[in-house]
Structure 1
Amino acid sequence: MGWYTNVIRLLGHQSWFAAAGRRVMPVDCWLLKRSGGRINILGRHQLPTLLLTTTGRKSGQQRTSPLLYAQDGDSFVVTASNWGQQHHPAWSANLLAHDEAVVVLPGGQTVPVRAELVAGEERDRLWQLVTKMYPAYDTYVERSGRDIRVFLLTPS
């Protein structure tokens, strides 16, 4: 990883960075959609980011969220960190209600996936993958005071 990526990884531990990230997420999502997943608010991809589209558990509407991810074989690992807030993000509740979703990868490839909330030793193993890529997730656990959901998104 380059110096710019390392700076972003360090800034991730700062609460002001998380607060700013929450505010710019709609712009980030817009940029990722328009660029085919190649550009986000920080410029060309510094950390692996996908667009996850879920079905709203109440509305039935399609909802898209940009998320960092780690690769696990053919599958993608995402965390419901919600920038370290005390509540889970809506997209994670949507996946619990409807486990079928779609991801758009950097470069624009669209992949239908089935989501699985992981627990136990498998969660621990996958947590290591995502925190190696973005160490601030450990800070988000401390800040949120909750167990952060970890999902494995497997191509369907």
Structure 2
Amino acid sequence: MSFRTRKGTRRTRQPSGPLFRLFNKIAARRIRKGGGQMMGFNALILKTVGAKSGAERINPVGWFPGPDGSYLIVASAMGATGNPGWYYNLAAHPDKVAVEVDGRTIPVIPEQLTGSEREQAWQQITSAAPRFTSYQDKTDRELPVIRLTPQPA
């Protein structure tokens, strides 16, 4: 597993701060109550452990169906120069990642896709949600595509 996507050199900073944290809390609440939808596509709550803090973190994230019941997510940060914080949390603590979907918490194994696997997933994602193409156009970093595979029982 390799989480090595570097920061880009153009575009804006990624969203952050108290207002963004409040938005995440509200969005997570809406996902839990509203059947897992956000901004027109499926959404899950990504649970990670902070890379530096060690504290539990939650982030609402859009997802797309992957093979064998996996979830595909994109570390887009809406086209910002840097990767979202949760990307680094996945890298630091890959054994402590879970998703909340349909009222269930599922431990998952994160894997960043590369090569033809990434390209195939990227085509699927951008066909379903063209906004990701515009996010990619805003930055010079390649937006990481992550597959979250449920851990065996």
**Interval of TM-score (by shorter of Structure 1 and Structure 2):** 0.7 to 0.9
Bigger RCO (CA 8 Å, 6+ sep): 2
TM-score (norm 2): 0.76
1:27 to 2:23 alignment: yes
Matches within 5 A, 1:111-150: 111-150=106-145
Tell me which of 42, 60, 74 is aligned to 1:79: 74
Give the drift of 1:142: 1.1
User: Residue 113 of structure 1: CA displacement?
Assistant: 0.4
Moved >4 Å (runs of 4+) = none
Identity %: 29
Alignment of 1:58-97 (within 5 A): 58-72=52-66, 73-97=68-92
Give the structure 1 partner of residue 99 of structure 2: 103
TM-score norm. by structure 1 comes to 0.75
- CA shift in 2, pair 1:111/1:99, >3 Å: same
Equivalent residue pairs, number: 134
Q: CA deviation at 1:45?
A: 7.0
The aligned residue for residue 8 of structure 1 is none
What is the CA deviation profile of residues 90-144 of structure 1, one whole-angstrom value per residue up to 9, with x for unaligned ones? 1001111111311111x31211101001111111111112112211111111102
| Compared CA separation, residues 97 and 28, structure 1 to 2 (3 A) | closer
CA RMSD after TM alignment:
2.6
User: CA distance change for structure 1 residues 37 and 139 in 2, over 3 Å: closer, same or farther?
Assistant: same
Q: Partner of 1:15 in structure 2?
A: none
Contact 1:68–1:78 (8 Å) recurs in 2: yes
| Bigger helix fraction | 1
Report the alpha carbon displacement of residue 37 of structure 1 after superposing the two structures with TM: 5.2
Given residue 88 of structure 1, which amino acid in structure 2 is its aligned partner? N
Change over 3 Å in CA distance of 1:87–1:45 after alignment to 2 = closer
Aligned position for 1:57:
51
Matched-pair contact (CA < 8 Å) for 1:37–1:104: no
